[in-house]
Structure 1
Amino acid sequence: MASAQTTTMSCCAKPAAGQNATEVFAMLASNEDFSGGHDAPLPFTYAGTGEMIEFKTTDGGSSKAFEIKSSIRSDKYLFVIHEWWGLNDYIKQEAARFAKELPGTNVIALDLYDGQVATTADEAGKLMQSVKTDRAQAIIKGALLHAGPHAQVASIGWCFGGGWSLQTALLAGKQAVGCVMYYGMPEKDVAKLKTLNTDVLMVFAKQDKWINQEVVTQFEKDMKAAKKGLTVKAYDADHAFANPSNPKYSKDFAEDAHAASVAYLKKNLKLK
């Protein structure tokens, strides 16, 4: 097992040639301290609105996602990207919460694990490490095609999904209008960051050993170099503090971060 110190160093290092920033984050799954900090989610079944849909992906395959359509015709979309457990019922419930708070927005919770959902930290770690960048990008591109050429797309994700939220904004090009990333691995390639069509809201936990102050400071420098807007909301909490099933959960901080995210999304999606 890698030590926490070694892992922290790998977090802050530049990705190897051809290695995506999200792949660097996935390496944390082999860290016992990281995986041990994620208690398995309690059994939960979502029974609200929304349905599973299937769309074609750009690699010739297909993918499924959980979608809640706006009650009115709309080209505004929020892509929700799951944490390392996968697209479970907790994420569906979170998607429904955003759909209620962002009226006039279509909400789609993507599935970067292709139907697999983890119930233990060991399973989650293996799934997170098994994600291939090309496949994940093909899923996101497929979702963008599903939304259509006129869609205005914002994204939000946590942990594993936090990094992929930023990658979604990059892949969305001029269709990107918002990006929220909770304690996820930032993109370290300034040239890529220069292509962003939106500013970014980053939620950061000061006690996080992995997405730590060094990582955040470097991201601030990189975004400044790319001449892109970045707002960092820091909380005196630990990694995954916004997850109710995590022992580090902080209700007050989680609610504050959620309110900030909703306000940001309303502004960027230009909702009334």
Structure 2
Amino acid sequence: MKKLPQLLILALMAVLMACGGSDNKKAQEESFEDLGDQAEFKEKHDEPKEMGETNFKGEMIQVSVDGGESANAYALMSEGSDKYLLVFHEWWGLNDYVKQEADRLSEELGEVNVIALDLYDGKIATVRDSAAKYMQSADKERIMNILGGAMKMIPSNASIGTIGWCFGGGWSLQASIEAGDRAEACVMYYGMPEKDLERLKKLESDVLFIFAEKDHWINQEVADEFAANMKKTDEELIVKSFDADHAFANPTQESYVEEAATEANSIALEFLKAELFEVEDDDEDGEDM
């Protein structure tokens, strides 16, 4: 009879450990889209500031998609170039800020075809509740088909780079995986990494992962897990962190930090140049600066 309390305690501990393990597993499996349910995450995003007068250099195009309607994209094409950069928008959608970034990247990279894909099929959010709704309702199968359409549009001998922020940071990585042996560079600004190791092993490009040290979601723990998984692949991961908060690179947000954004953008630009044009950069050592 004296052993009964001990057995009850052991049984209770087992139940508690199982519950804790379930919570940890749920946290690990949480997708970026799930964050749209969190009030704190929504409140961290300010409604975008007006950008003022814009003079975009690209044009809207259509991307053929198997089994569905064509997708929209904002493109700046460079005649004769076999270099492509796919750009992925934040949870707001393909808005003027992302088009401006596509213009900037086109100008700074030079002879590269820059294509910003619209993953929301024309929907653009101007308030956080709509952004959360669009992100959560985004059809992953549809997005994968859009990626497939983009890959078919790009010549088989091309070199492909990808870049994205927030919601688009994760899709930047997915696009690089889908690009196969054409993938040369992947840039992720505070986006959710792929946690399925077998899928991650299909990646054939190096990755630049940028995150904010004050970010409660895409944080050091996420970066460490990503780094551990990338060590099991054949590709290199470069991690850069900044003393800032989520969305620090977006000038339409209150969390924008000009100095950090300028440095991050410079690092991303040099990484893309080095990988797409095979230019050696002595500063890239795979460690935080």
Q: Is the 8 A contact 2:49 2:253 kept in 1?
A: no
Q: Is the 8 A contact 1:46 1:92 kept in 2?
A: no
Q: Alpha-carbon deviation of 1:151? A: 2.0
Partner of residue 14, structure 1 = 29
Say if 2:211 is the partner of 1:204.
yes
44-53 or 222-231, larger mean C-alpha shift? 44-53
Partner of residue 177, structure 1 = 184
Equivalent runs, 1:1-272 vs 2, <5 Å: 12-14=27-29, 24-44=31-51, 45-70=53-78, 72-270=79-277
Q: Distance in 2 between matches of 1:108 and 1:10?
A: 36
The answer for unaligned runs of 5 or more in structure 2 is 1-22, 280-289
Q: Show CA shifts across 1:71-108 (max 9, x none).
A: x4111000010001000111111000000001110000
Q: Alpha-carbon deviation of 1:42? A: 1.9
The alignment's C-alpha RMSD in Å is 1.6
Q: Alpha-carbon deviation of 1:12? A: 4.5
Q: Distance in 2 between matches of 1:136 and 1:155?
A: 15
Q: Distance in 2 between matches of 1:175 and 1:190?
A: 20
With normalisation by structure 1, the TM-score equals 0.90
Q: Aligned letter for 2:117?
A: L
Identity %: 47
Q: Highest Rg: 1 or 2?
A: 2
Q: Alpha-carbon deviation of 1:41? A: 1.1
Q: Show CA shifts across 1:88-142 (max 9, x none).
A: 1111110000000011100001000000000000000000001111100111111
**Shift in alpha-carbon separation, 1:183–1:10, aligned structure 2, 3 A:** farther
Q: Aligned letter for 1:254?
A: A
Q: Alpha-carbon deviation of 1:10? A: 7.4
Q: Distance in 2 between matches of 1:39 and 1:28?
A: 15
The answer for unaligned runs of 5 or more in structure 1 is 1-7, 16-23
Q: Alpha-carbon deviation of 1:9? A: 5.9
Larger RCO, structure (CA 8 Å, separation 6 or more)? 1
Q: Alpha-carbon deviation of 1:271? A: 6.6
* Secondary structure at the counterpart of residue 29 of structure 2: coil
Question: How many pairs are equivalent?
Answer: 256
Q: Is the 8 A contact 2:82 2:112 kept in 1?
A: yes
Q: Distance in 2 between matches of 1:125 and 1:58?
A: 27
Q: Distance in 1 between matches of 2:137 and 2:257?
A: 30
Q: Alpha-carbon deviation of 1:194? A: 1.1
Q: Distance in 1 between matches of 2:47 and 2:199?
A: 35
Q: Distance in 2 between matches of 1:262 and 1:11?
A: 35
Q: Distance in 1 between matches of 2:112 and 2:36?
A: 34
Q: Alpha-carbon deviation of 1:61? A: 2.3
Q: Distance in 2 between matches of 1:12 and 1:106?
A: 38
Q: Distance in 1 between matches of 2:93 and 2:75?
A: 15
